[in-house]
Amino acid sequence: MTNFLSGLLRLKRGPWEMLATILIGLGVFMLMQPFALWLYTYSFIVTLVGTVMFIVVSHFKD
Amino acid sequence: MSKTPITRAAAATPVRVARKVRGLSDRAIAWIFVGPTIFLLLAINIFPLIWTIRLSFTNFKANRLNREPEWVGLRNYERILTDSDIWLNMQATAHFLFWTIFFQVLIGFTLAYLINKKFKGNDLWTTIIVLPMMLSPAVVGNFWKFLYQPQIGLFNYIVAFFTGKDPSSFEMLGSVDLAPWSIVIVDTWMWTPFVMLICLAGLRSIPDYIYEAAEVDRASKLRQFFTITIPMVLPFLMLAVLFRGIENFKMFDLVVQLTGGGPGSTTELTSINLKREAFEKWRTGYASAYAIILFVTVFGLASIYVKALNKVKER
């Protein structure tokens, strides 16, 4: 966990890609879950942030 | 001196063309080769994407070309993301996605594991199993429609044989409870061979000496399965899941042929709903916003897929 956080602070590609992947996964879950309409409402913005983040951080150094 | 393909190509080039090319730099020649591809990519992929993004902020209707579209900002997105009917379509898509992937991975891996054992007629069985994947989704949809017929369909008779129910007492495509499962069954039937082939490639890539070393260490078959087979096939399995996930998210033809989205809207997947908005209600701006939402979702999933693919390559 500490490695993950320090990786984020040092702008390392691995942890940031992991974070973006989690956001995309969360967004897709929110889009398709049957529990709450408000989760569905905010799903697109979460997926969009995750996807844009993924494109940007894939240019970071390892 | 033997002639290489390059010298043969150089000799075959007309003198006029050769003179012109000789005057060009390597970079210019590279651009000549890559240029047409880049142009096609821009014209067919990038331009329509940018145009769709622009349309998603307007109330443009493709059947009212003489009417000037109005800029509506984020209203289309707001309406889609607060519409409970579209939310239900997303849930229908999720149901379809989850269960098709679950069954396809389970059955596909089991079939691959069995086919990987050396036995007589191994290749013939592989060909027979792979057949459904080679058919057109429209054809598959049509003949499963006949199989699901409550009066004459074979499916109802098989279920009746095992359960003792009357074959005409249930209707797979007409029932609200059974229709979502009917499309899952057909997609599983059609695409399990695909998952099986990927798993088979994974299983065949495991070197025999690993199992031999495990035998020497007196590891049981079960232990070998969980500590050698599963970890080494996992990247392939993961790829199969992502391939099928992305494909099924866009599923259209098979379901349209089978149920047309009905009964009601229980099997109306997002792609079917999107087509209705765009080409039946002609709400092009609204449908563009809908398409962008689906695009971002699929693009996000594809990004994860590329990452997973790179990891597999690194192994």
Report the interhelical angle of B84-115 vs B179-204 (nearest 10°).
40
Residue B251 carries which DSSP code?
-
**Cross-chain Cβ contact A41/B304 below 8 Å:** no
Size of interface A-B (CB pairs under 8 A): 52
The residue type found at B240 is A
Q: Does residue B312 have a pLDDT over 70?
A: no
Per cent of chain B over pLDDT 90 is 57
Look at residue B12 in the predicted model and tell me its pLDDT: 83
Q: Do A54 and A21 contact (CB within 8 A), yes or no?
A: yes
Q: What pLDDT band is residue B196 in, cutting at 50, 70 and 90?
A: very high
Look at residue B14 in the predicted model and tell me its pLDDT: 83
Of the two residues A46 and B311, the one the predictor is more confident about is A46
What are B25's two structure tokens?
């730099």
Instruction: Tell me which chain A residues have a C-beta less than 8 angstroms from the C-beta of B304.
Output: 21, 24-25
Tens of pLDDT, residue by residue over B39-55, are: 999 999 999 999 999 99
Q: What pLDDT band is residue B1 in, cutting at 50, 70 and 90?
A: low
Of the two residues B159 and B13, the one the predictor is more confident about is B159
Q: Write out the E strands in B38-175.
A: none
Tens of pLDDT, residue by residue over B285-307, are: 999 999 999 999 989 988 887 78
| Averaged pLDDT score across all residues of chain B | 89
Tens of pLDDT, residue by residue over B47-106, are: 999 999 999 999 999 888 888 888 999 999 999 999 999 999 999 999 999 999 999 999
Look at residue A48 in the predicted model and tell me its pLDDT: 95
Q: What pLDDT band is residue B140 in, cutting at 50, 70 and 90?
A: very high
Tens of pLDDT, residue by residue over B207-217, are: 999 999 999 99
Nearest residue in B to A41, CA atom: B81
What are B248's two structure tokens?
């099924």
Our CA-based measurement puts residue A53 at a distance from the nearest CA of chain B, in whole angstroms, of 10
Our CA-based measurement puts residue A5 at a distance from the nearest CA of chain B, in whole angstroms, of 21
Q: What is the value of ipTM here, to two decimals?
A: 0.91
- Tell me if residue B57 falls in helix, strand or coil: coil
Residue among A17, A18, A24, A45 with most chain B CBs within 10 A, to mutate: A24
B30 vs B208: CA distance, rounded Å: 45
Q: Does residue B18 have a pLDDT over 80?
A: no
- Tell me if residue B159 falls in helix, strand or coil: helix
Q: What pLDDT band is residue B236 in, cutting at 50, 70 and 90?
A: confident
pTM: 0.83
Q: Does residue B20 have a pLDDT over 80?
A: no
